[in-house]
Amino acid sequence: MKVHLMYRDADFNMEGDLPVNEKELLQDLELTTLFDAMANGDELLFEVAKRAILSGLTDPEAIEYRQDILRDCLKNPSVVRELYAISLESVENKRKRWLGIFSRYPSAILDGSIRMLQMFVELLRKLKAIADENVEKFESDGFRTFFAMIRSELDDEYFATVQRHLKRLRFSDGVLVSARLGKGNEGTDYVLRRPNEDSKSWIKRVVSRKPPSYSFYINPRDEHGAMALSELRDRGINLVANAVAQSADHIDSFFEMMRVELAFYVGCLNLYEKLSSIGASVCFPTPSVSGERVHSFDGLYDVSLALTMGRQVVGNDINANGKKLCIITGANQGGKSTFLRSIGLSQLMMQSGMFVGARSFSANVCEGLFTHYRREEDTTMESGKLDEELKRMSDIVDNITPNSMILFNESFAATNEREGSEIARQIVNALLDRGIKVFFVTHLYEFAHSFSNRGMGDAIFLRAERKKDGTRTFKLIEAEPLSTSYGEDLYEKIFVAKN
C-alpha cells in the first residue's frame, strides 16, 4: 500500500539532503517563525515543514498536485486530522506493544508480530470506515487514489482472511513440524506443516478409531526436556515468525509514511487557521516553468511578520512579468527588506505546494533560491565586512545554477559608494547573463542608476513610498531610484522629536 499524498508516484523522503544554503535561508527569511506556526508545538510537524519547504518542487504539475490535495484538506480539516490521529495511534501502540519483535527467539518474535498485526488490523478498519464515509467529499487525484486504494485492498474478505490467519498462527492446537534425520541423527530440514482439516463432526471424532501414532510426554518438572521441546518448536516456526514480522513491518511502514505525509498538510492547516484568525488573506499561486520570467501579485505580504505582529500587515501589488531584474530603493525603514522577505517566503511556499500570503500570486519556479544579506561585523576580526560579503558571494556562485533566484539586501555597502556600486554591477551582470533572476535592495544610487539609465525592458525599479511629510506607507511603487534614502527623516524622528 502506498500513500502518495506528496508526490504522484513516490514517497516523501525525510532523509534527503537539504540545500547547501539552508542556514542562510533560515536566518534571512525568518523561516523558523513560519515553521513554528505550522508545527504548533509538534516536533514532527516542524521537521516535515522544514524539509518540504526547503526542498521544494520545480515541476509546476507536481506543485499543482499538492495544491489540489491541500484544497481538499482546507475543505475537510476534521477528516484530515482524524486520519493523522490514526497514524499517531499506530506509533503510540507500537511503542507500547512491539517488544517481542526485537527478540532472538522465533516464538517471541511471532507472538509480538501477531499482537502488532492485530492492532494494525483495528486501525485499518478505522481507516477503511473513514474512506467509505468521506470519499465523495474529496476531489483531488491524490486523495481519490488514496481512498480508492484503501477501499479496494481493505475489503471484507481481506479482514476475514487476516483474522483467520492470525487465529491459526496462535497454534492453540499445537505445532505440526516435520524434519529429517541428518548427520549424527540430528534433526534437519524443519518444516512447519498445516494441520489436516478434520471435516468430521465432533461425535464421529470422539467415537472413530484413531490412526496409530507414537507420542511421549515430558514431566512438568523436566526443565531440560521442556527447553529442548521449545527449541524444536522455534525451529519449526522460524520462517513463519520472520514472515509475520515482515508483514507487520510492511503495515507499520505504511502508517509511518501516512503520518509523515499528512504531517505536512496538518501543518498547512495550522498555518491557515492562524492567518485566518488575524484576517490575513491567502491564495493558491499559479506556477510557471523555470525558463519563463513571471512574477505578479496582489496584496503580497510577509507571512512571518504577520504571525509575529498577530495582525494584518501591508501588502504590495506588483506586475514584474517578463522581468529578470528588480532593484528596490527608497526611504529607510520604508518596507524594502520586508518586501524582499515576502518574495523569498512566497517562492518557497509556492514551490512546496502551499498557499501564499497574498490575494493573488503567480511566478515561475526557480531551480534554487539564494540570499545575500548584509551581516554584522565579524566579531572574531578574521576579516572585514566586505571580505566576508565577497566570500559568501563566492560560495553562492559555486552552487547557483541557471534559472535560480537570488535576493540581495544592502549587499556590498561596506565600502565606498563607487567601489560598492562597481562590485554590485559586475556581479549582477554576470548573474543575469547566466539566466538568474535577481532582486536587489540597495542604497547604492550609482549602482541602481546605472541600470535604470540603460532603459532595460526586462528590469523593474521599485521604490519605498514616502509621503511629503516623511510618513512611510510601507508600500512599494514602480519608480526610478532617487539619490537619497531620506535619512534625515529618521534623524528628526529620533533626535529632534525628543528635544
Q: Is residue 32 part of a domain?
A: no
Same domain, 300 and 260: no
Q: Is residue 267 part of a domain?
A: yes
pLDDT at 481: 86
Residue 283 DSSP SS3: strand
Same domain, 328 and 268: no
Q: Is residue 149 part of a domain?
A: yes
pLDDT at 249: 64
How many domains does the chain divide into?
A: 2
Same domain, 376 and 239: no
C-alpha separations of 428 from 324, 347, 384, 417 in Å: 11, 20, 22, 16
Same domain, 83 and 187: yes
Same domain, 270 and 396: no
Q: What is the CATH number of the domain that holds 412?
A: 3.40.50.300
pLDDT in single tens digits along all 499 residues of the chain: 789 999 999 999 998 889 999 999 999 999 999 999 999 999 999 999 999 999 999 999 999 999 999 999 999 999 999 999 998 887 777 666 554 444 555 555 555 555 666 676 777 888 889 998 999 999 999 999 999 988 887 766 655 665 565 555 555 555 555 566 767 656 665 555 565 555 555 565 555 666 665 555 555 665 554 454 455 445 444 445 454 555 566 677 888 999 999 999 999 999 999 999 999 999 999 999 999 999 999 999 999 999 999 999 999 999 999 999 999 999 888 899 999 999 999 999 999 999 999 999 999 999 999 999 988 765 554 667 889 999 999 999 999 999 999 999 999 988 899 999 999 999 999 999 999 999 999 999 999 999 999 988 999 999 998 887 778 888 999 999 887 555 555 445 555 555 5
Same domain, 270 and 349: no
Q: What is the DSSP string of 304-373?
A: HHHHHHTS----EEEE-TT-SEEEEEESTTSSHHHHHHHHHHHHHHHHTT--BSSSEEEEE--S-EEEEE
Residue 459 DSSP SS3: strand
Extended beta strands in 143-233, E state: 176-181, 187-193
Contacts of 134 (CB under 8 A, 6+ apart): 76, 79, 147
pLDDT at 376: 74
Same domain, 313 and 231: no
Q: Are 305 and 264 in contact (CB under 8 A)?
A: no
- Which of 213, 243, 277 is at the close of a domain? 277
Which helix (H) or strand (E) segment holds residue 274: the answer is: helix 223-277
Same domain, 159 and 254: yes
pLDDT at 490: 44
Same domain, 1 and 119: yes
pLDDT at 92: 78
As beta bridge partners, residue 356 has 283
- Which of 277, 297, 322 is at the close of a domain? 277
Same domain, 306 and 428: yes
Q: Are 252 and 1 in contact (CB under 8 A)?
A: no
Q: Is residue 468 part of a domain?
A: yes
Distance in angstroms (rounded) separating the CA atoms of residues 50 and 33:
11
pLDDT at 128: 87
Distance in angstroms (rounded) separating the CA atoms of residues 63 and 55:
12
Same domain, 139 and 10: yes
As beta bridge partners, residue 193 has 176
Output the nine-digit C-alpha cell for 157: 474478505
Its domain, for residue 436, covers 286-496
Q: Is residue 294 part of a domain?
A: yes
Q: How many CB atoms lie within 10 A of CB 173?
A: 8
- Which of 210, 245, 277 is at the close of a domain? 277
pLDDT at 385: 86
Same domain, 336 and 416: yes
Q: Is residue 41 part of a domain?
A: no
149, burial (CB in 10 Å: exposed 0-12, middle 13-18, buried 19+)? middle
Q: Is residue 3 part of a domain?
A: yes
Q: Is residue 203 part of a domain?
A: no
